[in-house]
Amino acid sequence: MHVYTASIATTTILTPAVQNLNVKMSWTDNLYSYIIKININFIKSILYLTYNIPYNCGKKVKIIMKKIIFHIDVNSAYLSWTAIKLLRDGSETDLRKIPAIVGGDMSKRHGVVLAKSIAAARYGIRTGEPITDALRKCANLTIVPPEHHYYSQCSRQLLDLLHHYTSAISQYSIDECFAEYVPIPGDNGDPVRAAHMIKDTIRDRLGFTVNIGISTNRLLAKMASDFEKPDKVHTLFPEEVPVKMWPLPVRDLFMVGRASAAKLELLGIKTIGDLAKMDPALIEAHLKSHGRTIWEYANGIESVHIDERAKTDTSNKGIGNSTTLSADVTTEEAARKVLLELSESVAGRLRKAGFLAGMVSVEIRYNTFENVSHQMQLLSPSQATQVIYEAAGQLFHELWNGTPVRLLGIRTSKLSDCQVRQMNLFDYVRNDKQEKLDQALDSIRQKYGSKAIMRGSFLEEKRPPKATPYD
């Protein structure tokens, strides 16, 4: 139990005869209430050290506990899950213990690295780089293809196990989630002890390891889980930020990409601490609203949950998805299938957030790592999957130069409230019909699962890897 998670007020009389105390915590601003068992020695320590009050003086005590968040992240998820499957199928080699990667087409020896073992990382192999480059770094590299359907099964197993500990779970991606800490039998009210128990249970029952980050908000919990790996538990409470987070390179901060890091370094900002101590107005002047966001993050401030920011910031930034392909796309037909899936994801997020998109853009990253993009204005704002897909398809056709494609992305911008719209007669008839169909499909998927209804074109082909949302 951490003293910094508790504050003292008035309520329950302490006596020497009490060995354990059930303390009921009440609702306060952004605080959750629990009934937890706290050892009397812990309470005595707080009273004496903080207030210099003897524990038997008859003072009334109330413990108010801030909500504690876990971020649970599977270590090298794709590679770990593939390794477990191969071991169960009779393989004598554990991919996690040798230089190995998941990605691309092993027979054709092309594509990108989707996941790597720790042993592969020692050779300088990076996630997202071409497999040909990885092979130059390590000639004896083992390459295995991804199995996305199987990965989804592993993800569900993890979530099912976690629901035994808490019902307050929010999935962030296929291999990571947030969970609200609730005391469990045997943890003595200590979230760190609970995290170790959960981590060990996942390893023993499911066969793979996770890192668990602990804090009072999601941002810091996620940052904590990225500390030393694998199979570790780390805390990053607000008072630990200067020591544990500020010395890190600024590129390690959540939401600081290569472009942002480059701009910050031009300003002389090399560490997260440098950013935290800067005038936020200066950062905002160079990086606009994103600058304010990352400045807050550098100071451990999460004014909006990181997995909810898309919904709150979309009016200024937009909604988009991108996907790095396991194998290069070389035909427009194959690219259009990826664009269709991306369009479904983006349009679904628009409908969920209650926005219409007035602009659609497409991003292409070639296997040469050259990035190109193009955008177009819609005749009328829309959240219909078909409208976004047709625009994306047209943009791709105009933009693509025939070079093999490594990444595809769709982004929508110029967002407006779906309650307020203007459109011409022809667009109204078309959009209204399509959006009613989309809403019906959304309802079915929400009730029966995302795979309850699938497009026929997806059934004959291997589905592309998961898309990564960006806003």
Give mean pLDDT, residues 415-444. 57
Q: What is the pLDDT of residues 150-171, one digit of tens each?
A: 888 999 999 999 999 988 898 8
More confident residue, 65 or 397: 397
Give mean pLDDT, residues 27-48. 41
Same fold, 68-245 and 312-470: no
Per cent of the chain over pLDDT 70 is: 70
- Pick from 11-25, 327-341, 386-400: least confident: 11-25
Give mean pLDDT, residues 247-257. 91
Give mean pLDDT, residues 127-135. 84
Quick one: pLDDT at residue 47? 43
Question: Tokens for 268?
Answer: 């002389």
- Pick from 122-131, 218-227, 290-299, 389-398: least confident: 122-131
For all residues of the chain together, what is the average pLDDT?
A: 78
Quick one: pLDDT at residue 311? 44
More confident residue, 246 or 22: 246
d(CA 124, CA 141): 12
Quick one: pLDDT at residue 308? 57
Quick one: pLDDT at residue 59? 46
- Please state the pTM of the whole predicted model: 0.58
Give, as one character, the DSSP assignment of residue 99.
Answer: S
Quick one: pLDDT at residue 333? 93
Q: What is the pLDDT of residues 52-106, one digit of tens each?
A: 444 444 444 444 457 899 999 999 899 999 999 999 999 999 999 999 999 865 5
Runs of H (alpha helix) within 299-331: 309-317
Quick one: pLDDT at residue 74? 95
Q: What is the pLDDT of residues 262-311, one digit of tens each?
A: 999 999 999 999 999 999 999 999 988 889 989 999 999 987 666 655 44
The number of residues making up the chain comes to 471
Per cent of the chain over pLDDT 90 is: 45
pLDDT of 213 above 70: yes
Quick one: pLDDT at residue 398? 85
Question: Tokens for 301?
Answer: 């401030």
Quick one: pLDDT at residue 374? 84
Instruction: Please give the CATH number for the structural domain made up of 312-470.
Output: 3.30.1490.100
Inter-residue contact 99 to 120 (CB < 8 Å): yes
Instruction: Please give the CATH number for the structural domain made up of 68-245.
Output: 3.30.70.270
* Confidence grade of residue 421 (pLDDT, cut at 50, 70, 90): very low
Per-domain residue ranges of the chain = 3-66, 68-245, 250-299, 312-470
Where does 17-136 show beta strands of DSSP type E? Answer: 20-24, 35-39, 60-65, 69-74, 100-102, 115-116
CATH class, domain 250-299, is mainly alpha
Quick one: pLDDT at residue 195? 97
Quick one: pLDDT at residue 143? 92
Give the 3-state secondary structure of 175-218: CEEEEECCCCCCCCCCHHHHHHHHHHHHHHHHCCCEEEEEECCH
* Confidence grade of residue 178 (pLDDT, cut at 50, 70, 90): very high
Inter-residue contact 89 to 144 (CB < 8 Å): no
* Residues identified as active-site: 176
pLDDT of 413 above 80: yes
* Confidence grade of residue 1 (pLDDT, cut at 50, 70, 90): very low
Residues contacting residue 288 through CB under 8 Å, at least 6 positions apart: none
